[in-house]
A and B are shown apart, each in its own frame.
Chain A
Amino acid sequence: MPIEPIIKILFIFSVMVMGLAPIITWIERKQSAVMQDRIGANRADLNGITILGLLHPAADVIKLMMKEDMVPEGANRVMHMLSPLIAAVPAIMAFAVIPFGGVYVFGDTTLNLVGADIDWGLLYIFVLGSIAAYGNVVAGWSSNNNWSMLGGLRASAQMISYEVTMGLTIVGIFMVFQTLRLSDMALAQDTSFRVLGFLDVHFGLNWAWIDWIRLPAWGIIYQPLGFLMFLTAVMAENKRPPFDLPEGESEIIAGYHLEYSGMRFGLFFMSEFIEIILIAALTTTLFLGGWAVPWLSTETIINGISSVMGTGFATGLCILIHFVSFLLKVIFMIWVQMLIRWSLPRFRYDQVMSLCWKILLPLSIANIFVTGAVLLWVKG
């Protein structure tokens, strides 16, 4: 078995999933504390050392491990045990197609920094999303509890509705980049375009400064409405506030994971946080240029550095720059999601449904139509 995929899998798993997810629980605590004028997590300490509350994720894990793993009476044992896995595993698997760097050439070997560079990458993520819905529905059903059942029903209706919309909101992006392969999409955003280029092309005004006013060719520039709608739809898909109807603490206590304790509850909890990272990575790849550094294409970086230090070192440094750029964008998107989560109150259920079917769906279809018309007009 080749060694390269294993290294990639280990890297993705340890950095993107197991590395970031516990830190996010800390970020959430601290950010909510700042937003609500509190101090936040600072009590978990090791001989008085608290490191700004960074020990809390570890304390969480120890606590969840030590708790009794309860299966309620009358529950379907097998399904009750399996459903946290059904919820968590697809979220982790989806990282396989997220490119965290481009394609780099070292002499005669090429390095492609994506786990599985498949042609139907986005479809793969949708496939996993539709499987993940079962985790919540089955958890709600198998717990033998009315509140859980209601949570499971709400989860199934909400996730099915938003899955349809989520697919339609990014059709515009498919049309712009002409591909479903995520690494190709990121590569297509590794350039910039002249904002006033039409002056040159249509009116023949070839002033030198037109070349200097440039914008990165990111998805968000081509599809601003698509970006907002996609972010709304995926956040609803993740079932966190303001879309946390399946959990709805005030009405149905904790919804589908009411009867879970210990590490099985922890898995539901973790899968939500892993999905936050996934959403951030996906929006970064689709709309925020992926690993690309704005205004500096891969060639510019490598040529710039290699004139001083040699090509091999320049390529290595370029990988680092791209990965840091990707990570910074992902952290920014995580921050945006936390901001929304702690700013807005929970929607009513009919509001969530009408937002999906009456606002997002018609708007996304209009977006597809307008994108198609503009593409036809521009490309002829």
Chain B
Amino acid sequence: MRYIDPHIHVSSRTTNDYQRMHAAGIVAVVEPAFWLGQPRTSVGSFQDYFSSLIGWERFRASQFGIRHYCTIGLNSKEANNEPLAEEVMEILPLFIVKDGVVAVGEIGYDDQSESEDKYFRLQIELGKKFKKPILVHTPHRAKKEGTLRSMDVLEEHGVPPHLAIIDHNNEETVREVLDRGYWAGFTIYPDTKMGKDRMANVVQEYGSERIIVNSSADWGVSNPLSVPDCAAVMRERGIDEADITKVTYQNAIDSYAASGQFNPSDWEESFSYDQAELMEGNSVLRGQVPKSSAS
């Protein structure tokens, strides 16, 4: 079984996680640009972070047989530092156009402040200009209100719903997000957001159309195997295999397809890897026994 984790902050994860993800069948990941826990204080920190998403992390993932894609954007929390946000807006176009960038995101609301609103709207316009889908982070607090507001703003800016993914949904938001025609992302966390069983309930109730499961694993308590683990629970619950495939693989591809940067051929064909080529020295493997995709 092949899986895609369409939302995971793998820069924060270990090589051991990458090995487990590969073993569990994850073939591709999308790493949305977000905040780093510690607020950044200069535009250079953003530039280096974006560069690592299209550079080092992409290479690191490839060493474990996983294709790495990313989304580029100014996250809502840091949109509150306006002087810095202005500088970040200037460099975003340098990165949004790169190969392997599948969306503008994750953007949206945190406190739902004026500043967040301003940069959410400006970045929606960037997405339109560069013909990229929009990945929307919905807030932890006042989630329902923030989710509805995010969709209202997208509509105000004329973004067709099939070009936006509304992420971190729960039972309270899913109905309206689907009814309005958007892709609905669900994050499976061990303690907060969604759980695996609740996710299975959602799929049983709403079906598999436009529903996408992700781990959003980062530096907090989270699980990089959430997608395959959730698939296993859905299987136990007797959910149809075709539906499981949609919510853990195919919908991720379809939702990002408009970017022209997310093609199954990238990982289906000609992506063999051989860690022996990269052993020793300064690769991340540092002397561990190489693994080959052939073995």
The answer to whether A and B interact is no
